[in-house]
Amino acid sequence: MSLLFVASVLLLCTASCCALTCPNITGVPQVPLPYLDSVKFHYKIQISVDDLNQTLDATEYYDHVNNQTFLYLDQATMRSKMSYDYNFNQVFTVDELANTCSVADYNGTQGSVSLIGMHAEKGPQFVKYPFVWNSGYNATSMGVAVIDGIQTDHYQMCLSHEDGNLTYQLDIYFSSQNWSMPAGQNAPVRIDLNATVDSTTTGSHLYTYKFYDYHDSTSKELWKPDLPGDIVCEGRKDVPVAPDPPSQMQLRMEVVMGSYLQQVYQYFDYDNKMLRVDITGDNINTPHMNTIHNFKDGLQYMYYPATGLCDIKPIPPDSMFEDTVVVNSSLVSMIVPNHFGALANATYCGVTMFLGYKGHCWKANTVALAHDFYFNGTAAWVQDTYYNSVDEFNGMITPLGMKQVYTSQQNNGTVNYNVTYNYEFDMFDYHPRILDSDVFHATECFNESQKTEIILKFPNDVYPMIKASPANFSKAVVSATLEHSKVLPTRVVPKTPYTVIQEPDQKSKTNVTYVYVGVTLLGVPNVKGDSVEMVPQPSLAQAISDVKSAVQGGEFILRFNTNAEIAADSEYFNTQDDLIRGQQPSPPPAPSGGKVGVSTGVVVGVSVAMLIVGIMVGCFIMIYRSKRASSQYAYTMQD
């Protein structure tokens, strides 16, 4: 009877609380458990769960200086990544297989999370009572043990948790002081964890943690995880304020779809409300195409170099370049394209790598297009993800690239079906201003009868400017012409090279060097645009008259970045037609012995005879072509 009573007592004790109590260690010497680096450390773990016949891979990262903790668990059915942001007190949970991200507020302290504990196989968020390093634990020293060929110091300890239904019995192995490891001594090698639970708790009991690739703040290893990037995590608080983009910029893009590569050059000028996009293709599936959107005349100029054809029409409301906003059914206005930084309609998706650079990610909402631009489908949808880097010192934004998912709805005669295309736009050669002066002219879309070349004369003072920077000189010529002609940039074409001639000066009786500069003005398109930014346009004759008045009044002045100002010769103004008809004197011939050469794109010492011959030949071609040109647009350059 007494034996039965004792057995009953033992059974009750085992089923209730006695087995959940750590053994009595009174009188057993205790030593502090070794500490890991208090600055930062990370390692990889192989977790074996005995009850499930399963092994998992995991990574843990702790950065006590920058307030970051990162846990990653990889198994067959789940890849769970948890990132703790202590700056905003949030925890991010990413399921990489499902490509989902959730965000929750977190009130815990740094270092209070770990994969070492009960239910680690379910993910970091399910480990209710984790074992955490550097918590001031005392343990029993069990001497030296060889684990996986490594000499280790063996420690044993027991943790009984507050609610009384879970106890951890741990055997912990650190590399010995006299055993060299990549990150020094006392690196974690293995933990054997035996979890004892009461009858109301279910779960795996036996866990083995094998540590490898341990590094701390003294290591040369620079690996550092980031908060989730390239994925939308609704509710995250670490969203940067995207700075406003510059009002002018140009860049080059490579468009990649599978093995197909296409070059795109883009020029954006919000000040003058203009956009130019040059697309190079194989002239079969995607022909080479140059497109200009001029919102101040409301027109789209689309030129095909391979055929010489040009089409002028109002800017389409559903522009494929995403530079328009529709005010009403036909009236459009210019907006800043999203990949330049106007991200009001996009959702922040973190910091990620793009083209080898770390950048901010923004995902736009899916947009239904009015037309299927590329695949002639019955409908189309597009979703863009943008990647920008932001200079932390000056706040300047640099576009890195864009990924686009283009969905085309096709019909096989019976049912509709969707085809998805994935594009990547890699962006290079970005400049926050327009470097070229001639990118916005549309001379290819005008026949010769609508073009007039003006010839201006400048003193030799401009020659150093030309030699130093032909591009800046050309830009100064275009700027002055735009200022005084009051036409739009689509109607001004700079001409190079420039003619430098030595002429006898009647007053000084010496040879004086002058520079003759040509610039072409274009007529007014006979197609009516429709945009908010439209402004009245002077006729070609009026524009020429205004430039002539400015020259004769000494007001046609070239201005340079060096604050230098050089005015055109007020006594000289010619057009091609004037020279051919002989209404004004042409530049005199250079004196004998004049030097002839080429320097920095400038023709030096060209005689007036050659100048006249060149102009006459050009005019003959112009007259011949003007007789054959019959349309403002859609004409062939074969003429």
236 lies in some domain: no
In this structure, the answer to whether residues 514 and 568 fall within a common structural domain is: yes
In this structure, the answer to whether residues 47 and 161 fall within a common structural domain is: yes
In this structure, the answer to whether residues 255 and 297 fall within a common structural domain is: yes
Domain ends where: 408, 431, 454?
A: 431
Mean pLDDT by 10 residues, the chain (639 residues): 31 39 86 91 93 91 84 82 88 89 83 86 85 92 95 94 81 93 84 82 79 87 78 89 76 87 91 92 68 96 91 89 82 74 72 87 84 85 86 72 92 93 92 85 93 92 84 90 96 87 82 91 93 94 96 94 87 80 48 32 24 27 32 29
Q: What is the CATH number of the domain that holds 67?
A: 2.50.20.10
Supply the pLDDT for residue 538: 96
Domain that includes residue 78, residue range: 39-216
Residue 612 CA from chain centroid, whole number: 51
In this structure, the answer to whether residues 623 and 551 fall within a common structural domain is: yes
Structure tokens at 46: 């192989």
Domain ends where: 200, 216, 232?
A: 216
Rounded Cα distance between 558 and 498, Å, is: 15
Domain ends where: 431, 457, 476?
A: 431
637 lies in some domain: no
Q: In total, how many domains does the chain have?
A: 3
Half-sphere exposure of 623 (CA within 13 A, CB side): 9
Supply the pLDDT for residue 508: 77
Supply the pLDDT for residue 596: 31
* Long-range CB contacts (within 8 A, 24+) of 534-537: 534/295, 534/296, 534/297, 534/298, 535/296, 535/297, 535/488, 537/297, 537/487, 537/488
Supply the pLDDT for residue 545: 96
In this structure, the answer to whether residues 459 and 489 fall within a common structural domain is: yes
Kindly report the number of other CB atoms within 10 A of residue 125's CB atom.
Answer: 16
Supply the pLDDT for residue 616: 27
Q: What is the CATH number of the domain that holds 372?
A: 2.50.20
278 lies in some domain: yes
In this structure, the answer to whether residues 173 and 201 fall within a common structural domain is: yes
In this structure, the answer to whether residues 457 and 424 fall within a common structural domain is: no
Supply the pLDDT for residue 126: 85
In this structure, the answer to whether residues 342 and 487 fall within a common structural domain is: no
Supply the pLDDT for residue 625: 32
In this structure, the answer to whether residues 276 and 406 fall within a common structural domain is: yes
In this structure, the answer to whether residues 48 and 167 fall within a common structural domain is: yes
96 lies in some domain: yes
Residues pairing with 516 in the sheet: 457, 499
240 lies in some domain: no
In this structure, the answer to whether residues 278 and 422 fall within a common structural domain is: yes
438 lies in some domain: no
Rounded Cα distance between 527 and 344, Å, is: 34
23 lies in some domain: no
Supply the pLDDT for residue 637: 25
Residue count of the chain, please give it: 639
Residue 620 DSSP class: H
In this structure, the answer to whether residues 535 and 576 fall within a common structural domain is: yes
Structure tokens at 600: 């920095």
231 lies in some domain: no
